[in-house]
Amino acid sequence: MTVIADRPASAPDLLRVRQDLLDRVERRLDRFTEAERLRWLAINPRAAQPVEAVIDMVGRGGKRLRPIFCLSAFLAAGGDPGAEVAVDASAALELLQAFALIHDDVIDNSALRRGAPTIHVRQAGEHSSQGWQGEARRFGEGVAVLAGDLAFVYADELTFDFPPPARRLWGELRTELIVGQHLDVAVAAEAVVDPRLSRWIAVCKSGRYSIQRPLLLGATLAGRPGLADAFAGYGLALGEAFQLRDDLMDAFGSTEAAGKPAGLDFAEHKMTLLLALAVERDPRIRGLLARDGDAPWDADLIRRVLEETGVRDAVERTIGELVERAVASLAPAGLDPVWSDEFSRLATLVAYRDR
Amino acid sequence: MTVIADRPASAPDLLRVRQDLLDRVERRLDRFTEAERLRWLAINPRAAQPVEAVIDMVGRGGKRLRPIFCLSAFLAAGGDPGAEVAVDASAALELLQAFALIHDDVIDNSALRRGAPTIHVRQAGEHSSQGWQGEARRFGEGVAVLAGDLAFVYADELTFDFPPPARRLWGELRTELIVGQHLDVAVAAEAVVDPRLSRWIAVCKSGRYSIQRPLLLGATLAGRPGLADAFAGYGLALGEAFQLRDDLMDAFGSTEAAGKPAGLDFAEHKMTLLLALAVERDPRIRGLLARDGDAPWDADLIRRVLEETGVRDAVERTIGELVERAVASLAPAGLDPVWSDEFSRLATLVAYRDR
């Protein structure tokens, strides 16, 4: 608990402290959800079902990206590794992410998540095979919506001890997430080709929700909200890189590697940041996308054009520049070099991940 | 602000104070949601759409039952009418109710709410008439799910100033609401005929969520959580009466009077508290309900049997007894007679409402 305060900390020391905190986050998640499961199981096995759906989603792992950013910022800002509040915040971020994924999968009608069938697909299948009453699709989606709602409440319960500035951040983070999701849905339905709006959505959903806000939450909980500007610069640039990698993986990657279906953005006519940049660079791409009615996009043609016009390579270069800009944004913060190095490493990891 | 403290308060005084607080709740809701609408409108008109959906649902009124109970308990427990926290709590309860209704309407596929088409139905219609991309049903339901999520966040933002005991209550109230909803869905799908479970669901969803928890929240915010037992007795008995009236209105009432479709419980094969009691009283009713597959229930036959077996009359008598029990539960609390009378009046109002 006193590693940071008593002597100059080495990189392995600090990263071990963070790993300990990450392990505590997992235990916190397990303990909290298991207590809830047992409590509701005592009423009726069916009452425990939505809790079990949440446990299943959280237990399948995922990258734990938001806890890593939150805890790194907390420690870099001098937060006390013995305090419970950063562990709670990280567990809350993971539960919030479970909520977002569960509702997203319903809204996008996605069949696969973290390598397994999504909740609404599994529940609809159970309904059909059991021959239950009503429509299987509505049942599956209804159960998933409620499981997502429950993850949302659970996330929130872990923030009860936040001081007021952290609570305001938490509120803002959630509002942005939901408005960003709605814009995604609206822009896809209306087939809006508006690069500025697409970039704004990427900034909102990836930059702020996944990186900037978790960092700021960590710094705020450590009592150093003054790091906000540096983390904002890092988070927004890296968030854009994160989103571009996501879009590239969806466009060019495989379902197996991602643990979720590839090609879904094209299937859902999603005006991704990648496509928005592509339209800006080569006007012919707009013609490919702005088609009438429900005719599916020609994914192979779009991929070929992205390659041939050099858009794919250009986006790779942009990702490289965004990573540099992210890292440079941190310089004025005067962080311990151990943490500057670690944030550089994380930036590369996020921008060049393969799932 | 000093009506209660400085001189013996008369009933009109106290009820006027409560009305003032209820008016402030409306203004709080308007101010909060309008500020959000303008903020997102500045980004993009589409970003304001989920806020507008929330505003529309909250603005259509409803009974404001939960604010009335919360504020009555707050004042009866000696809370300071000048404090903002009970106004915030009541506004939060209304936003939470908007969340619950929006998600419920998707899950139940309900077409009408508070006298207007539901959000998912309206949005799906817009999608169709505009000829947007993708499936209209999925779009409508996706937009509604996100609007509900947003109402959920907004509700929560109004609880940021709650002291810890009130925050714990708020967490519990939301968890119960969601688990209760899930049980409703599961029991309907599996056609479970289990009167004990149906009563538990009614206690959870109506008794606790609509009455007991709002009362306890008011008393806790006033600093008198010691009223918990009296309010629990009142809330649970009246909650059961509330649910039975709801079921009777659905079974025998008209769509016009309710502002939402009547007969929906039968259409959705919902094992309501009414039907659970009916099965307990007359075993023949179980035969009517326990039918295989998706064949719709014969609503006219069920209604006739409920009349002929005397179940309808018996349920009316039960409602009367529950109201008496609710009122009697408050006696040990030693409330100001003005409030005892008012809680009696509210009990009658809730148990004999026509919408």
Residue B96 forms contact with A (CB below 8 Å): no
Of B145, B179, B188, the CB nearest to A106: B145
Nearest CA in chain A to B104: A142
Alpha-carbon span A235 to A205, nearest angstrom: 11
Q: Where do we find the tokens 């529940």? A: A123
How do residues A33-70 score in pLDDT, each as one tens digit? Answer: 999 999 999 999 999 999 999 999 998 877 899 999 99
Residue B80 half-sphere exposure toward CB, CA atoms < 13 A: 5
Relative to beta strand A112-113, strand B116-117 is unpaired
CB contact under 8 A, A133 and B294: yes
Token couple for A14 = 């600090």
Q: Enumerate the residues of chain B whose CB falls inside 8 A of the CB of residue A159.
A: none
Residue A8 forms contact with B (CB below 8 Å): no
| pLDDT surpassing 70 at residue A257 | no
How do residues A210-222 score in pLDDT, each as one tens digit? Answer: 999 999 999 999 9
| pLDDT-derived band at A8, boundaries 50, 70, 90 | low
Per-residue pLDDT of chain B (355 residues), as tens digits, is 333 444 556 777 889 999 999 999 999 999 999 999 999 999 999 999 999 999 999 988 778 999 999 999 999 999 999 999 999 999 999 999 999 999 999 998 888 888 889 999 999 999 999 999 889 999 999 999 999 999 999 999 999 889 989 999 999 999 999 999 999 999 989 988 888 898 889 888 878 899 999 999 999 999 988 888 899 999 989 998 998 998 999 888 866 666 666 777 787 777 788 888 888 887 778 777 765 555 677 888 888 888 888 889 999 999 999 999 999 999 999 999 999 999 999 999 999 988 7
Alpha-carbon span B219 to B216, nearest angstrom: 5
> In terms of pLDDT, which residue wins out, A355 or B272?
B272
Residue A184 near residue A107, CB atoms below 8 Å: no
Please write down the HEC assignment for all residues of B69-126: HHHHHHHHCCCCCCCCHHHHHHHHHHHHHHHHHHHHHHHHCCCEECCEECHHHHHHHH
Query: Which of helix, strand or coil describes residue A116?
Result: strand
> In terms of pLDDT, which residue wins out, A285 or B232?
B232
- CA proximity to B344, closest of B63, B92, B76: B76
Residue A69 near residue A211, CB atoms below 8 Å: yes
Nearest CA in chain B to A138: B107
Cβ neighbours around A29 below 10 Å, total: 24
Sequence-ordered alpha helix ranges (H) in A108-221: 119-130, 136-157, 164-190, 195-202, 213-221
Alpha-carbon span A202 to A220, nearest angstrom: 24
Sequence-ordered alpha helix ranges (H) in chain B: 3-6, 11-41, 49-59, 65-76, 85-108, 119-130, 136-157, 164-190, 195-202, 213-221, 228-252, 255-258, 264-267, 273-281, 284-289, 299-308, 311-329, 337-351
Q: Enumerate the residues of chain B whose CB falls inside 8 A of the CB of residue A146.
A: 103, 107, 178, 181-182, 185
Angle subtended at Cα A179 by Cα A177 and Cα A182, rounded to the nearest 5 degrees? 110
Query: Which of helix, strand or coil describes residue B275?
Result: helix
| pLDDT surpassing 90 at residue A128 | yes
> Which range scores top for mean pLDDT: A81-90, A184-193, A245-254, B294-303?
A81-90
CB contact under 8 A, A134 and B294: yes
Those residues whose C-beta lies under 8 Å from the C-beta of residue B331, and which sit 6 or more positions away, are B230, B340
Alpha-carbon span A34 to B23, nearest angstrom: 42
Report B:21-80 residues touching A (Cβ under 8 A).
36, 40, 43-44, 46-47, 49-50
CB contact under 8 A, B153 and A167: no
Q: Enumerate the residues of chain B whose CB falls inside 8 A of the CB of residue A268.
A: 134
Alpha-carbon span B196 to B280, nearest angstrom: 10
Residue A83 forms contact with B (CB below 8 Å): no
Q: Enumerate the residues of chain B whose CB falls inside 8 A of the CB of residue A293.
A: 131, 133
> Which range scores top for mean pLDDT: A163-172, A330-339, B21-30?
B21-30
Cβ neighbours around B125 below 10 Å, total: 13
Residue B107 near residue B185, CB atoms below 8 Å: yes
- CA proximity to A205, closest of A101, A278, A312, A340: A101
Residue A206 near residue A243, CB atoms below 8 Å: yes
Please list the helix, strand and coil fractions of chain A in percent, rounded to the nearest 5, in that order.
75, 0, 25
| pLDDT surpassing 90 at residue A323 | yes
Q: Where do we find the tokens 């289990």? A: B194
Of B130, B160, B186, the CB nearest to A167: B160
Substitution target in A178, A190, A268 with the highest count of B β-carbons within 10 Å is A178
CA distances to B77, B317, B327, B347 from B344, rounded to whole Å, are: 16, 17, 6, 5
pLDDT of residue A226: 83
Q: Enumerate the residues of chain A whose CB falls inside 8 A of the CB of residue B179.
A: 40, 47, 50, 150
User: Pseudo-torsion of CA B341, B347, B353, B355, nearest 10°?
Assistant: 120
Residue A314 near residue A273, CB atoms below 8 Å: no
CA distances to A170, B65, B104, B218, B244 from A103, rounded to whole Å, are: 19, 29, 15, 32, 32
Query: Which of helix, strand or coil describes residue A117?
Result: strand
Sign of CA dihedral B243, B247, B250, B256: negative
A189 min Cα distance to partner chain B (Å): 5
A9 min Cα distance to partner chain B (Å): 37
Residue A127 forms contact with B (CB below 8 Å): yes
Token couple for B88 = 């915030």
Alpha-carbon span A249 to A244, nearest angstrom: 9
pLDDT of residue A4: 43
Residue A346 near residue A72, CB atoms below 8 Å: yes
CB contact under 8 A, B188 and A127: no
Write down the mean pLDDT value for chain A. 89
Residue B294's Cα: distance from chain center in Å?
Answer: 29
Dihedral-angle region of residue A61 (phi above 0 means left; psi in -120 to 50 means alpha; beta otherwise): left
CB contact under 8 A, B168 and A160: yes
Nearest CA in chain B to A165: B160
CB contact under 8 A, A133 and B103: no
CB contact under 8 A, B143 and A182: yes
